Chain A
Amino acid sequence: MITVDNLVKSFPSRSGAVRALDGVTLEVQAGAVCGVVGPSGSGKSTLARCIALLERPDSGAIRVDGTDLVTLDGNRLRAARRQIGVVPQGDSLLRQRTAAGNVALPLETAGVDGPTRRRRVGELLDLVGLIDKAASYPDQLSGGQRQRIAVARALAANPSVLLADEPTSALDPETTGSVLTVLDRARAELGVTVVVVTHDMAVVRRICDDVALLDGGRIVENGRLLDLVSDVDSRTANALLPALDQTDGIAANHDRVADVVLVGFAAVGALLPEASNRFGVDLAVLGGGLTRLGETPVARFRLGLTGERADSALEWISEAGALVRRAQKGPQGVAA
């Protein structure tokens, strides 16, 4: 488990000090994957560098399993760094060392003896699915493969926390998947707590349990993905869910227009057809779509409802657990 407590970090600039982090508080449970998202300039990178113990905050604490790491120096700082495996932003592998040699670096640092080191490197390369590339040099690997080696290296010293700073920013969507799979495996097989700093919502959808939205150096939203998507006003939810197209023209043809968010197999699969049958209402999908948060199917639709009992149908859908919001521009007062 990692706790970030009221972290403040300023940088000097010509127009006075700039507060990159303005009291960031965040808690990630052991074995969870937390995504930190936010617009550029929101403080994501600074937060990542602080958690990586590369930057020392002005105040606040970073606790891994209860111990504050930000005030440490010398050998104790180096020992603390071993508790937090880091996948840095950008290409970070030693280009003059093989994949295996790169993964071995933290083990050499930790003073692990040769035979143990080789065995461990083998296990890690196996975990990231690159055991056949052990003897390859970084320049012989693809971007996705290099990033998976970086993950293996970050995991080598058995850290309790894995920090990945924009791990997929340089990758195409296909290779992104392979890197995310590796991060997910790290959590599942090693029980490591994962913090992913990213601007890519696809990363959050795919592997995160929790998400924190950073803006202006503060966490403005934070919670479990599945909880956040049920919050009508959540910016994060809006970014995570399928986009609703503007459908004013078509909306006029329906008695009611409403946005619904459906979570889970049962809701996504059965709720709308059943509402239609039960109330004799025609449902048309005007916008939105289906996505997945981890393994959970989640949908957001803009629906056009036509029929006498449209309001009752919406009420029923809402009672069945879906989030319903009337669209502002729907025709009003048509049905009784």
Chain B
Amino acid sequence: MRPTTPWSDVFDLLHPALGQTLYMVGVATLFATVLGIPLGVLLHVTAPDGLRPVPVLHRILGTVVDFGRSLPFIVLIVLLQQVVTRPLIGTSIGPTAAIVPLAIGAVPFLGRLVQSALREVDATVVEAAVTTGATRARIVRSVLLGESAPALVSAVGVTAVTLVGFSAMAGVVGGEGLGDLAIRYGYQRYDDRVLWSTVLVLGALAMLIQLLFDVSSRLIDRRRRVTA
């Protein structure tokens, strides 16, 4: 007979797992943003037609980013365990340790999103700033980042939702969280009640994050919205 966790206990399982997921995803998103946006800027400005073309650096960065994105997350966890996670955190087990591969895995992903957001900034606008005698640093800050701010917020949102998915694998290194709960109870114990409850919470969480970033993006956007 399949063991079914009583409803009263389901909540007690979900509550800490949700907290762990939020912790991992939140901190990882924060770090990914801090590193991913500069990476995207670097990818954009070093392009052959960029503000400061450095084709060699551009190609190296592009290769590293694509390589990083092609790595299955589960492999990344293992890969970073000895080299980065343990020296940095002191342990390779637990939610805090799981943040390291989560953040690092999300950086190239967000970097590409940022790059394509910056590409959408009209060249005329950039050139107009150049003619005012602005330095490259100012153009990046005031024009590229300023004009693409709504797109950047969306990009961080997409990254956060992706990280919710990635965090399911954090269970491998004792990161726990919702994904881990679903695997342990749903897969290993055939406990459908916990499985579906977890999936529901995960889905709601992803939707909520998406909504939050969409609304923020729209709030800061000063362009006229097209209504069809």
Return A103 CB to nearest CB of chain B, in Å: 11
Asked if B142 CB lies within 8 Å of chain A CBs, one says yes
Contact status B124-A89, CB under 8 Å: yes
Closest to A74 in B: B135
Contact with A along B123-155 (1 / 0, CB 8 A): 011011111111100100011001101100000
Contact status A94-B131, CB under 8 Å: no
| Number of residues of chain B lying within 8 A (CB) of chain A | 24
For B2, list chain A residues within 8 Å (CB). none
Binds A, one of B162-170, B181-189, B217-225: B217-225
Asked if A244 CB lies within 8 Å of chain B CBs, one says no
Contact status A137-B222, CB under 8 Å: yes
Asked if A285 CB lies within 8 Å of chain B CBs, one says no
For A90, list chain B residues within 8 Å (CB). 124
Closest to B136 in A: A78
Contact status B132-A88, CB under 8 Å: no
Return A65 CB to nearest CB of chain B, in Å: 16
Return A149 CB to nearest CB of chain B, in Å: 11
Contact status A105-B134, CB under 8 Å: yes
Contact status B132-A81, CB under 8 Å: yes
| Candidate in B134, B149, B150, B224 with the most chain A CB atoms within 10 angstroms | B134
| Candidate in B125, B133, B146 with the most chain A CB atoms within 10 angstroms | B133
| Candidate in A91, A105, A139 with the most chain B CB atoms within 10 angstroms | A105
Consensus secondary structure, chain B interface: helix
| Candidate in A84, A85, A92, A93 with the most chain B CB atoms within 10 angstroms | A92
Return B111 CB to nearest CB of chain A, in Å: 22
- Contacts of A46-85 to chain B: CB distance below 8 A: 52-54, 78-82, 84-85
From the candidates A96, A97, A106, name the one contacting B132 in the complex (CB within 8 A).
A106
Asked if B66 CB lies within 8 Å of chain A CBs, one says no
Contact status A109-B146, CB under 8 Å: no
For A78, list chain B residues within 8 Å (CB). 133-135
Return A332 CB to nearest CB of chain B, in Å: 57
Contact status B124-A157, CB under 8 Å: no
For B134, list chain A residues within 8 Å (CB). 78, 105-106, 109
Question: In the bound complex, what is the Cα–Cα distance between A118 and B51 (angstroms)?
Answer: 29
Return B141 CB to nearest CB of chain A, in Å: 10
Known interface pairs A52-B131, A86-B131. Does A140 touch B224 (Cβ–Cβ under 8 Å)? yes
Asked if A295 CB lies within 8 Å of chain B CBs, one says no
Asked if A150 CB lies within 8 Å of chain B CBs, one says yes
Closest to A88 in B: B128
| Number of residues of chain A lying within 8 A (CB) of chain B | 34
Contact status B132-A153, CB under 8 Å: yes
Contact status A106-B133, CB under 8 Å: yes
Question: In the bound complex, what is the Cα–Cα distance between A109 and B129 (angstroms)?
Answer: 9
Return B52 CB to nearest CB of chain A, in Å: 12
For B138, list chain A residues within 8 Å (CB). 108-109
Asked if A220 CB lies within 8 Å of chain B CBs, one says no
Question: In the bound complex, what is the Cα–Cα distance between A110 and B220 (angstroms)?
Answer: 27
Return A134 CB to nearest CB of chain B, in Å: 14
Known interface pairs A52-B131, A153-B132. Does A96 touch B146 (Cβ–Cβ under 8 Å)? yes
From the candidates B142, B150, B223, name the one contacting A139 in the complex (CB within 8 A).
B223
Contact status A97-B131, CB under 8 Å: no
Closest to B142 in A: A105
For B142, list chain A residues within 8 Å (CB). 94, 105, 108
Known interface pairs A96-B221, A139-B223. Does A54 touch B132 (Cβ–Cβ under 8 Å)? no
Contact status A81-B131, CB under 8 Å: yes
Closest to B146 in A: A96
Known interface pairs A52-B131, A54-B131, A81-B131. Does A88 touch B124 (Cβ–Cβ under 8 Å)? yes
For B146, list chain A residues within 8 Å (CB). 94, 96-97
Contact with A along B106-129 (1 / 0, CB 8 A): 000000000000000010110111
Return B31 CB to nearest CB of chain A, in Å: 26
Closest to B147 in A: A96
Return B139 CB to nearest CB of chain A, in Å: 9
- Contacts of B57-96 to chain A: CB distance below 8 A: none
Known interface pairs A91-B122, A94-B143. Does A109 touch B127 (Cβ–Cβ under 8 Å)? no
Return A100 CB to nearest CB of chain B, in Å: 13
From the candidates B124, B149, B150, B223, name the one contacting A92 in the complex (CB within 8 A).
B124
Q: CB within 8 Å of B: which residues of A?
A: 52-54, 78-82, 84-86, 88-97, 105-106, 108-110, 137, 139-140, 150, 153-154, 156-157
- A-B residue pairs in contact (CB < 8 Å), sample of 9: A54-B131, A80-B133, A81-B131, A82-B133, A88-B131, A92-B124, A92-B125, A140-B224, A154-B131
Q: CB within 8 Å of A: which residues of B?
A: 122, 124-125, 127-135, 138, 142-143, 146-147, 149-150, 220-224
